[in-house]
Amino acid sequence: MQGHINVAGTNHHLVDQGEGAPLLLIHGFPLDHTLWQGNLSMMSSSHRVIAPDLRGFGQTPPRAGTVTMEQFADDLRAILTVLEVKEPIALCGLSMGGYIAFAFQQRYPERVKAMVLCHTNPHADAPEAAQKRHALADRLLAEGHGPLIEAFLPKVLPADAAPSVVEKVRGMMEGTSLEGAAAALRGMAQRADVKPRLPLIQVPVLVVSGAKDPIAPPADVQEWAKLLPKGQHIELPGVGHLSCLEQPEPFNRAVVPFLQAL
């Protein structure tokens, strides 16, 4: 099904598709669940795939102020309760979705069977980066989507991305609520450094990076992925920050066998 469900007073929009072991897809910033459009069909051939629009993104309404990674994780936990998903899940998060996956795993370790961490990192923002996020949050509330798109579109896609992919990503950014984007920027600015916890994550973790990703460069990803006791790292050639959308087939070939082997 695709539609809205009421979760603690907020109408969360999501796709819930397929049957089998549950898989929760967590999109990045400032995007929505359609980031996974090229992956849903293959993933749902073996899994029950739940792909929500996070609070303030896509068709899920925002909350003003700050939304922390922990609050996003609590929303996801509440969504699983409403959908009556009781067994441990595989979590697949991209970038901010990875930050949220780390928060979810810390808060609800018994609910996590495995993780796929795409184009993300366990680092906290340096003070200067955090300050830039706050400044961008203020600017976009005053000026609209322009500063958001200027700041993120060139970073998330390589210069040679297909025009259809560029338009798709621009559309997702334009569809993001300004209040929602500002709240998530403030939340990301205050996220914790997760590196000390990586050796404690005892479930299988597939870490995916992209050769042309300036936000999560493969050399850095390789370093922190080594700290995961059951981690494995795959670097996809020819893609930037959004491999699942840029080149869905290679992404699916890397991720789906990992999920099916769990």
How many residues are recorded in the chain?
262
* Bond before 30 cis per omega within 30 degrees: yes
User: CA separation (Å) from 54 to 69, 210, 214?
Assistant: 11, 24, 24
The CB-of-241 to ligand MLT minimum distance in angstroms stands at 6
Q: Does 239 bind ligand MLT (CB under 6 A)?
A: no
The site that binds ligand MLT (CB under 6 A) totals a number of residues, namely 8
Give 124 or 227: the residue with its C-beta nearer to ligand MLT: 124
**Choice from 29, 36, 57, 251 touching ligand MLT (CB under 6 A):** 29
In the block, residue with structure tokens 């930037």: 240
Beta carbon nearer to ligand MLT, 48 or 191: 191
Sort 110 into a burial class: Cβ within 10 Å, 0-12 / 13-18 / 19+.
exposed
**Among positive and negative, which fits the CA dihedral 26, 28, 30, 36?**
negative
> C-beta of 110: minimal distance to ligand MLT in Å?
26
The separation between CA 196 and the C-alpha centre of its own chain, rounded to angstroms, equals 21
Geometric angle at alpha carbon 140, from 136 and 78, rounded to 5°: 85
Query: Shortest approach of ligand MLT to residue 239 CB, angstroms?
Result: 13
Burial 84-99 (b: 16+ CB within 10 A, else e): ebeebbbbbbbbbbbb
Least distance from ligand MLT to the Cβ atom of residue 125, Å? 8
Q: The tokens of 223 are what?
A: 């370093």
Nearest-approach distance from CB 156 to ligand MLT, in angstroms: 6
Minimum CB separation of residue 17 from ligand MLT in Å reads 23
Report if residue 188 touches ligand MLT, rule: CB under 6 A.
yes
Footprint on residues 76-135 left by ligand MLT (CB under 6 A): 95-96
Return the structure tokens found at 105. 């795993």
**Contact map string, positions 41 to 80, toward ligand MLT, x by CB under 6 A:** ----------------------------------------
Check: CB of residue 52 under 8 Å from CB of residue 82: no
Binding of residue 28 to ligand MLT (CB under 6 A): yes
Choose between 188 and 259: whose C-beta lies nearer to ligand MLT: 188
Least Å distance between CB 34 and ligand MLT? 14
The footprint of ligand MLT on residues 144-163 (CB under 6 A) is: 156
| Contact residue for ligand MLT among 130, 198, 215, 227 (CB under 6 A) | 215
State the Cα–Cα distance between residues 64 and 67, nearest whole angstrom: 8
Q: Name the site residues for ligand MLT (rule: CB under 6 A).
A: 28-29, 95-96, 156, 188, 215, 241
